[in-house]
Structure 1
Amino acid sequence: MTSRERIMASVQHKQPDRVPLDLGATPSSGISAIAYNNLKKHLDMNNGHTRIYDVVQQVVYPEQEILDLFGVDVIDVGRVFNEKDSDWYDTTLADGSIAQYPKWFRPTLQPNGSYLVFDKEGTQIAKMPVGATFFDQTYFPYEDDYPDNYDNLDKDMNKILWQALVHSPWDHASEPNFYEDLRKRVLQLRQNTDKALMITCGCNLFEWGTFLRRIDNFLMDIYSDEDAVKELLEQLMVRHLATLEKVCDAVGDIVDILRFGDDLGMDTGMFMSREKYQTIFKPHHTALNEYVHKHSKMKTFLHSCGSIYPIIGDLIDAGYDILNPVQTTAYQMDPAVLKREFGKDITFWGGGCNTRTILNRATPQEVYDYTRRMIDIFMVDGGFVFNTEHNIMPDVPPSNIIAMYQAVKDADLL
């Protein structure tokens, strides 16, 4: 099988020739810059560049040599932009190693060593403290209350770090003829690679509420001011569907998978009851999936961290084809139970290795053994793409990364 065939076979719940693998196709299935530099040093790879395309999370695009080494089967179409050396500049990471930022991102170094980000109006929207490895949101437009109307919603959304500092290809979205250019570049990419193609489209709903209102306020609103929450979501849906229309028209016949995002769980349970999810959010999630499936050939992928077992059936009913990152360390997220109850109806993209206590702290042999166990559980009858539980973080030893991918390579599906 080609990489694209391997990915799509598994998404269609058919057994591929080997375990399909993702590293870096989304901002939640990749590797941080520090871990990437350490891996390259361990492998004695001294060429190329460590390019941080998601500046908020400090996540990099893996280079072709790494993709080939580990047998990665899917790539993010965003890599077709910012391809010139002049699109990047060097920066020093928290561990003293060198990486590159896109030229449009210019955080301000403070005397104490922290970094701040200001928008064009001078509002501080993000901060990376000394020694940290990602940026935190510092501005919440609706922290005090909802606005009287949503005439300025687009402007307010542009003050949120996740949108103001958005990763490629969306860092070019304001350019003239962006969608025509996107189509041209992605067509060329598809002709030049046999890997499956992924586009990240966001369309978050719960998360946008937390970005605008602040999470503590928005969680209370779900129970105490449901009408205001629903009004905000209606406004967001107008914008999300407009974006999806353009994406489906531009690349819906070229790209294989469209990634949505909405973190609905935490370690100990969901952020809300199942009933609140069903009445407030599920109808909109259903509409997003229906639009993509009706107007493109793309499969839909939901990134949702945490304990979401109570609503996985609802997510399937809403139309999602793929679930990521499959956080098996969270409450009620036992991998064997997930596979048994939902494995025939949704593809698990993740869950391949615990990034919280195994990949970063165990021995290479323990990492290898753990990874093989997860593959044995998830890979039965397809419906699985190997990925870690979220990104590979800065503290992960290179030897453990290599042990994990060796376990993937050694998994025998025949």
Structure 2
Amino acid sequence: MNKMTSKERVLKALNHEAVDRVPIDLGGMACSIHDEAYFKLKEYLHIKGDIEPIRKGSTCNYYDERILDLLSIDIRRVFAKSTGEYPKYYEDGSFVNEWGLVQKPGKFGMEMVKHPLENAEIADLDTFNWPKAKDIIDVSNMKQRAKEIYEKGEHALSMRAPLNGIFEIACWLRGTETFLCDMLLEEEFAHKLLDKILEVQIDFYELMLDEVGPYVDIVETGDDYGSQNDLLISPDCLRDFILNRRKILNQKIKLKAPNCKIFLHCCGAIMKCIPDLIACGVGVLNPVQTNAKGMDPKELKTKYGDKLCFHGGIDSQKSLCGDISDIREEVEKMLTIMNTNGGYILTSCNHIQNDVSPENIIEMFHFAKKFSSQQ
């Protein structure tokens, strides 16, 4: 098979067509690098000079195209910058984001300190200070960058998600236990809260897509519905409260970016809801957490491989922390199952953690290119 450009390779994978080698990705929603691992990799690759972080208040704050070039990553991203108003830091090291959620750094990431609507009544939802996209994000350079990548034609282009998902934000605002009870005991409140969050979601996506919609191949979204063993809420509850709103958001995205595939990051054991995700417009599923219960990659590919492009799949809990043979075994397994008739973009199954060495990151991508070229 003739060698493809990165863009050709990704587009064929998205459309379930054969590729010359598997497309590879790094730097998107849930496939980025924790800061400590980023600086180790940057040093290992002898990259000099610092870049500005793309955001603050997270564990993964850098998107360095110099690394992407050296590793032959097939996708490039555009994203909005913060206006600088948030996060606002306090003297004790905690900070508040644009939703009023107070967090602090913890051992494994950011820990939540205060939920701004934990004691709210339904009337409070009309007076809450809901984020407005124009006040929070700066889109001034997005169109120029997107057009440049699009016209150059070398790489596929993804728009990185501007904010977390509908369900996640509801749990932020109320506290997870409280919001789960809301859906059972305070349905009117729960529906109104979710409608307000959806309005904010649409506002953010439309502001960004007004700049880059004609140029993007992928638009990223995210919302976690699964634990390691099952869905966090019942399928009926998920449909009634969350996925009908996700369908509306996806429809709004497609109006602004008609040629894009909609990417959803959704962790955990989510096999039960995959048909519903497809029905509401999802075309790319990440992170393909195959060590979660019921997420067998063969079953995923057999049942949904003609409807979804799978993105991720390389175990970040064990394999990426192991030795070279562990990485090669994991990559070969996933490619043998997933990389038939396209439909697969290889990357880590969630963010690359600080305990993953630069050598292991490089080997994952190097071996994936080598093995898939021979398939």
Q: Normalized against structure 2, the TM-score is what?
A: 0.88
Corresponding residue for residue 279 of structure 1: 240
8 A contact 1:4–1:196 mirrored in 2? yes
- Aligned with residue 206 of structure 2, among 230, 245, 261: 245
Structure 1 gap segments, 5+ residues each:
88-101, 159-169
8 A contact 1:36–1:50 mirrored in 2? no
- Aligned with residue 20 of structure 1, among 13, 20, 23: 23
8 A contact 2:85–2:136 mirrored in 1? no
Question: 1:211 and 1:119, CA in 2 relative to 1: closer, same or farther beyond 3 A?
Answer: closer
Question: 1:196 and 1:281, CA in 2 relative to 1: closer, same or farther beyond 3 A?
Answer: same
How far apart, in 1, do the equivalents of 2:86 and 2:196 lie?
29
8 A contact 2:170–2:197 mirrored in 1? no
1:77 aligns with 2:52: no
How far apart, in 2, do the equivalents of 1:52 and 1:245 lie?
24
Question: 1:135 and 1:53, CA in 2 relative to 1: closer, same or farther beyond 3 A?
Answer: farther
8 A contact 1:32–1:60 mirrored in 2? yes
How far apart, in 2, do the equivalents of 1:224 and 1:380 lie?
46
Deviations 1:153-192 (A, max 9, x none): 3x2558xxxxxxxxxxx8xx4389x556432342234335
8 A contact 1:365–1:403 mirrored in 2? no
How far apart, in 1, do the equivalents of 2:271 and 2:103 lie?
32
How far apart, in 1, do the equivalents of 2:57 and 2:184 lie?
30
- Bigger drift between 336-345 and 180-189 goes to 180-189
1:317 aligns with 2:320: no
Structure 2 gap segments, 5+ residues each:
none
- Bigger drift between 368-377 and 179-188 goes to 179-188
How far apart, in 2, do the equivalents of 1:211 and 1:16 lie?
41
SS in 1 for 2:264: strand
Offset at 1:55? 3.0
8 A contact 1:301–1:322 mirrored in 2? yes
Corresponding residue for residue 398 of structure 1: 358
Question: 1:40 and 1:119, CA in 2 relative to 1: closer, same or farther beyond 3 A?
Answer: closer
**Aligned-partner residue type, residue 68 of structure 1:** D
Corresponding residue for residue 95 of structure 2: 117
How far apart, in 1, do the equivalents of 2:51 and 2:88 lie?
17
**Aligned-partner residue type, residue 209 of structure 1:** A
Question: 1:32 and 1:52, CA in 2 relative to 1: closer, same or farther beyond 3 A?
Answer: farther
How far apart, in 1, do the equivalents of 2:252 and 2:130 lie?
26
How far apart, in 2, do the equivalents of 1:103 and 1:233 lie?
24
1:31 aligns with 2:33: yes
Deviations 1:187-233 (A, max 9, x none): 23433562111112446211111011011111122222222211111
Alignment root-mean-square deviation, CA: 2.8
SS in 1 for 2:285: strand
Offset at 1:268? 1.2
- Bigger drift between 365-374 and 209-218 goes to 365-374
Corresponding residue for residue 128 of structure 1: 105
1:348 aligns with 2:349: no
Pairs within 5 Å for 1:321-332: 321-332=283-294
Q: How many residues align?
A: 368
Question: 1:245 and 1:105, CA in 2 relative to 1: closer, same or farther beyond 3 A?
Answer: closer
How far apart, in 2, do the equivalents of 1:124 and 1:76 lie?
27
SS in 2 for 1:412: helix
Deviations 1:342-395 (A, max 9, x none): 1110111111x11111212x2111111211111111111111111111010001
Q: Normalized against structure 1, the TM-score is what?
A: 0.81
How far apart, in 1, do the equivalents of 2:18 and 2:109 lie?
38
Pairs within 5 Å for 1:159-174: 173-174=134-135
How far apart, in 1, do the equivalents of 2:54 and 2:345 lie?
23
8 A contact 1:347–1:385 mirrored in 2? yes
- Aligned with residue 410 of structure 1, among 358, 362, 370: 370
1:150 aligns with 2:125: yes
8 A contact 1:116–1:127 mirrored in 2? yes
Deviations 1:9-30 (A, max 9, x none): 1111111221101100x23111
Offset at 1:65? 3.2
1:191 aligns with 2:146: no
Corresponding residue for residue 13 of structure 2: 10
Identity within the alignment, %:
27
Offset at 1:59? 1.2
- Bigger drift between 400-409 and 377-386 goes to 400-409
- Aligned with residue 263 of structure 1, among 224, 249, 260: 224
Corresponding residue for residue 47 of structure 1: 48
